[in-house]
Structure 1
């Protein structure tokens, strides 16, 4: 159940012309589930765990085709080199805070060893962004229980977004951000292909929506100008398209490229990574490269909208050191987009000042 602020489409903001899946999220890819554990004391801790769990990983199939693209390697993505080398994903993908990534990786190892008691080698894949702007990151509050709970509670329904899980303490493009997700469906009606994306947004730049800059110092004049540490983004791309690891690497690159659409600065300290995997049944021929354009377009649009959802569903949060990260003010943002001719007026503006945003479910 979504209880966060409005998503981009609720405000009249539509990215591209491709149709979305039923939930407009990564769980529209059959067999992909998402779970969150949020650790939030309302004062010094705003952090957590988000797990993307492909249910196809099991006794019949212990790996899926996958690829990792490093846009800028200022980060920690445990397990990425083996994915690069072998082109397969062997575990749920877990996202958390920077200094908790190693404990989270050990917890994923516990999960994998329980599932495969006869196994001798495992490759947990765990990424992070730095939520130290709002959370006391040095306390490393994430435990094995938090990680296992996120994996065990993962579901295929609508995914809570905003200040939840690994997005509880993140800030992006000057505003409070968090977890966001989106999806697209392409191909013929009898052979549809679904692309789903989930982001943990925590990077710098100037928020740009449908080509219109929305600087925080103009929309929220009282906002703290201190630049959060880390400035990173983790992007997970799932698809049921039959693609090999090389082709998934091409999609992962496009996922990082799409950050530019929303105004990413791609700073020196920005750890920008994309992980792409396919859930297609093994043994089928891969889609020819010449037919990848619709899938590439789906990735670009889904990443753009997922980042916007991570922002528009987030709520203003005060945390460690008395710092505050302000949510995007919906009414002000929509009015600028209407004035620029990017979205229709009237209903969109009225909708932006409807029911107040609340904290997301955990």
Structure 2
């Protein structure tokens, strides 16, 4: 179940209709899942609208122990020009190459493209060294992308991930930001902030301030990380999106991340709104609230929507028991 179905409501701002990143108009999500015993991995594709024309974007690095292909150009130019893909660590380069092929097929005159691909290490539950992701898996995720509620838990790039002592995976959430965000020359009509996460990090699961420890404790798998994608239709520029992305990383602390030195924690934020001038910095307060709340809920959904998996070498990661979550809502 999603966290709200278990009686836990993080934050105070209203959600979008689906409570998902796809509440941001035009944003699509597609996923390919490999779950075959020894393999528990996949691809998750976040496809912004009109990405080829370039959208304002920024990257925040909580800890750089990871691989985020294309991040330096996003930092340098403040623009994302491709879909954003997530996968397992050792497949990230194959996914980037396949994404490049997909893009070149659609742009026969392009001589330079900047594919953006992030990862977390799913090697505890999946044979990561086999690098099983093929171009067909990447194409399937991209071509199936839709505006529906994305599947969560053990799907796509979250098929083999774990977080905070439990099985985790993909999670998503959204928040509405109301009318009245001040802009030069007028007022914005409000908008949506949507978040999608690939959760795979250590710490003690914390739900609304209450720590929840696994019934069976064991050492955390190595290679813990988190990828966070933030989308909005509010008029925010690349500099402001950098501030937004940092709040997404900060939100990991709300669910108990210990920000391990071996964790690659990244957020990439983009806006589908190229309006100039952007909202005033003073109006970012509600956007920050929306980002932290949506990230917190997306992370919790990534756990409560996951199920127990026995995978590579017989390793097992257990799902968080629903009763432990329900108890925090009482």
User: How high is the TM-score relative to the length of structure 1?
Assistant: 0.88
Confirm or deny that 1:269 pairs with 2:262.
yes
2:46 alignment partner in structure 1: 52
Compute the displacement of 1:332 (Å): 2.8
2:23 alignment partner in structure 1: 28
240, 243, 247: which one pairs with 2:236? 243
**1:1-362 paired onto structure 2 within 5 Å:** 6-41=1-36, 43-58=37-52, 62-188=53-179, 191-216=189-214, 220-221=215-216, 225-280=218-273, 282-335=274-327, 337=328, 343-344=329-330
C-alpha distance after superposition, 1:141-173 (max 9, x if no partner): 001110111011000011100000000000000
Compute the displacement of 1:114 (Å): 1.1
Other structure's SS at 1:69 match: strand
Other structure's SS at 2:29 match: strand
Compute the displacement of 1:244 (Å): 0.6
Which piece of structure 1 moves more, 195-204 or 111-120?
111-120
Other structure's SS at 2:199 match: strand
C-alpha distance after superposition, 1:253-302 (max 9, x if no partner): 0000000000001001000000000001x343200001110000000000
What CA distance in whole angstroms lies between the structure 1 residues aligned with 2:206 and 2:189? 34
Compute the displacement of 1:333 (Å): 2.7
Other structure's SS at 2:51 match: coil
Structure 1 residues not aligned, in runs of 5+: 1-5, 338-342, 345-362
What CA distance in whole angstroms lies between the structure 1 residues aligned with 2:49 and 2:18? 18
User: How high is the TM-score relative to the length of structure 2?
Assistant: 0.96
Compute the displacement of 1:57 (Å): 2.0
Compute the displacement of 1:19 (Å): 0.2
What CA distance in whole angstroms lies between the structure 1 residues aligned with 2:84 and 2:117? 6
1:352 alignment partner in structure 2: none
Other structure's SS at 1:117 match: coil
Compute the displacement of 1:55 (Å): 2.2
C-alpha distance after superposition, 1:73-126 (max 9, x if no partner): 000000000000000001000000000000000011011111111011000000
Compute the displacement of 1:230 (Å): 1.0
C-alpha distance after superposition, 1:212-244 (max 9, x if no partner): 00011xxx23x5x13212110000000001011
1:354 alignment partner in structure 2: none
Which piece of structure 1 moves more, 181-190 or 299-308?
181-190
What CA distance in whole angstroms lies between the structure 1 residues aligned with 2:102 and 2:81? 12
Runs of 4+ in 1 over 4 A off after TM superposition: none
What CA distance in whole angstroms lies between the structure 2 residues aligned with 1:39 and 1:91? 24
Q: Any conservation in 1 of the 2:6–2:325 contact (CA below 8 Å)?
A: no
What is the RMSD computed on CA atoms of the aligned residues?
1.1
Compute the displacement of 1:187 (Å): 1.7
Other structure's SS at 1:292 match: helix
What CA distance in whole angstroms lies between the structure 2 residues aligned with 1:140 and 1:256? 28
